Amino acid sequence: MVKHSNYSIWALIAIAGASAFAAPSARAYELGQWTQAQSARSAQTLFRNIGPSTAVPGAARGAVVASPSRDPDYRYHWVRDGALVMGTVLGFYERAVKSAEKTALLGTLLEFVDFSRRNQLTPNPSGPADGLGLGEPKFMVDGGAFEGSWGRPQNDGPALRATTLIRLAHLLLDQGREKLVREKLYDPSVPARTVIKADLEFVSRHWGDSSFDLWEEVRGDHFYTRLVQRRALMEGAALADRMGDGGAARWYRSQARAIEPTIERHWDANRGFVVATLDRDGGLEGKASDLDVAVILGALHASSPGKDDRYFHVTDDRVLATAEKISEAFRKLYAINGRERDGDNQPLGVGIGRYPEDHYSGVAHQNSGNPWFLATFAFAELYYACANEWEADGRIRVTPANLPLLRRLKARQRLRMDFEPKELIRAGDPRFQAMIEGLRALGDDYLRRGRFHGDPGGAFSEQFNRDSGYMQSAEELTWSHSSLITAVWARDLRSRGR
Ligand code: NOJ
Ligand code: NOJ
C-alpha cells in the first residue's frame, strides 16, 4: 500500500471551489464559495495535525495533536478531540470517490485504531490498562502516558471513540472485510482484545461513575457525557448483533436504557433548559447559570443523521430551547456581539463561548472566557441539521419549548402569520418553508461570525477575544477546523435533497 503522509492527503480530497481561496480578499466571497475554500484549508490543517506531522515532530502515526501550540501547551493527543476529528476523517472517507483517496484515508483511520488500542493498554494515572485507565483524558503525542496532574477521569472519551470506530466497522463489514474488523475493531472475547469492545465494556460498566466534564474542569454527572455514552452503547449493541455477539448486545442495550432516566433529569422544565451538570462532587465551582454549550455539542455528537432514535436530537424542543438561552446569555455578555453585521452588511450570529462564567482565555493576561470557534460553528451545524431533519419529516410540531425559536425565525423571515401552541405545520404551508429557510439563514449567520473573526488566510485558533474579536489561545486548533467542516457538510446536505 502506498503510504501518503497525512499532510498530502488533503490535496487528494476533491473539494469543489477550493482553489478560489487564492484570492486576496476572503471577506468579499459569497458565503457558499467561502465554505468550500475554507473547508479545503481546514482539511489541510486537520491532516497536518495528525501524526506523522510536519507541524509536530515526534507525533506517532494515528495521534491527533490538539494544536501545534506550545503556549498554551496543546501538543497532546486528547481522546475526545481525537475521536471527534477522526469522525471527520471518516466523513472524508465516506465521501471519497477516487481510490487513491480512499486508500490513504483508510490508512490514517487504521493508524488511529492502532494508536487508540495502545492508549488503552498504557497504564496511566486514571488506572490500570484496560480497566479504569480508559477514562484518561490525554496522552503524549508519542503515545506515552501523561503523568502530570489533570482533571481526570473524563469518561466521554471512550464513548466518543467507540462511536467513531463503530461507524468504521460497519463500513468495513459492508465491504466484506470481516476478518479485519474482528482482528482490530470488534471481537466478542472478554477481557477485550479489540478497541471497540474494550470501550464498550468500560462504558457499560462505568457510565454511573462521576467524572470530569468535557471542559476538564467540573466533576459530577454531565448531560454531555451521559448522552454520548448512551449513543455509544446503542450503536455498540447494533454492532454486537451484527458480529454475532447477542448476549453483549442485550447488555449494552439494557445499560443504554438505564442511562436514560439519568439524562432526563437534566431537563429543568421551570427554567426551560437542559442543565449541563448535576451532583457536582469536585472540580471548579461557581457555574451559577447552569448554561453550557456542551448541551448543544452533545446533541450533535450523539446523533447519527437519518437513522437514529432522535433522543435529545437536534430537533428536540428541549435542545432548541437551551440553544435560545445560551445564545441570549452570550449576546449580552461579549462586547463583540454588539456588532451585528459584517463589512458586506450581512448578519452575524452571536459569538458563542463554552459557558457564561468561563475564566479560561488561554493567555496569561486575561482572566475571563471568550467565544470559541467550535462552539459558534456548533450553532451553525445545529440549525442546518434541524432544517434538514424537519424538511425530510415534512412537518414541524409547535411546542411551548420551541415557540421562542420559531417566533424569532418568523421575525427574521418577515413572516406575518403566527403560530398556535401545539399546532402541526406541514410542508406546503408557507410558514413551513419560511421556517426551513430561516433556520438555514441562521446557520449562515453563525458561519459568518466565525469567518469575521478568523484569519483571512483560513487559520482558526481556539478562541476569539470577547472585546477585540482577535483570535487567541491555541492556534490552528484541530477541533476548530473539524467543527467548520462538519457544519459545512450539514449546510451542503440541502442541495443533495435527502
Ligand atoms: C485547561 C483545560 O483544557 C481547559 O478546559 C480549562 O478551562 C483550563 N485548563 C483551566 O482549568
Ligand atoms: C480544552 C477544552 O476544554 C477541551 O475540551 C479540549 O479537549 C482540550 N482543550 C484540547 O483541545
Question: In this predicted model, what pLDDT tens digit does every residue of 378-393 receive, in sequence order?
Answer: 999 999 999 999 999 9
Q: What is the pLDDT of residue 9?
A: 72
Active site residue 213: yes
Contact, 54 vs 7, CB < 8 A? yes
Strands (E), 39-85: 76-78
Q: What is the pLDDT of residue 15?
A: 59
Is the pLDDT reported for residue 10 higher than 70? no
C-alpha cell at 470: 482577535
Give the DSSP letter string of 252-304: HHHHHHHHHHHHHTTEETTTTEE-SEEEEEEE----TT---THHHHHHHHT--
Q: What is the pLDDT of residue 125?
A: 97
Confidence grade of residue 5 (pLDDT, cut at 50, 70, 90): low
From the CA of 361, how far away is ligand 1's center (Å)? 9
Q: What is the pTM of this model?
A: 0.95
From the CA of 73, how far away is ligand 1's center (Å)? 11
Ligand 1, atom 7, residue with closest C-alpha: 360
Q: What is the pLDDT of residue 4?
A: 52
Q: What is the pLDDT of residue 343?
A: 93
Is the pLDDT reported for residue 49 higher than 70? yes
Ligand 2, atom 4, residue with closest C-alpha: 215
Report the pocket of ligand 2 as residue ranges, CB < 6 Å: 66, 74, 78, 80-81, 214-216, 479
Report the SS3 class of residue 353: coil
360 lines ligand 1 (CB under 6 A): yes
Q: What percentage of residues in the chain have a pLDDT greater than 70?
A: 93
Q: What is the pLDDT of residue 119?
A: 97
Q: Which of 111, 213, 444, 445 is catalytic?
A: 213
CA distance 93 to 171: 10
Question: Greatest CA span in the chain, whole angstroms?
Answer: 62
Is the pLDDT reported for residue 436 higher than 80? yes
Higher per-residue pLDDT: 96 or 12: 96
The per-type count for the chain, helices as H runs and strands as E runs, is 15, 11
Q: Which of 216, 268, 429, 492 is catalytic?
A: 216
**Chain segment 77-130, per-residue pLDDT in tens:** 999 999 999 999 999 999 999 999 999 999 999 999 999 999 999 999 998 877
Is the pLDDT reported for residue 29 higher than 80? no
Is the pLDDT reported for residue 394 higher than 80? yes
Q: What percentage of residues in the chain have a pLDDT greater than 90?
A: 90
Is the pLDDT reported for residue 28 higher than 90? no
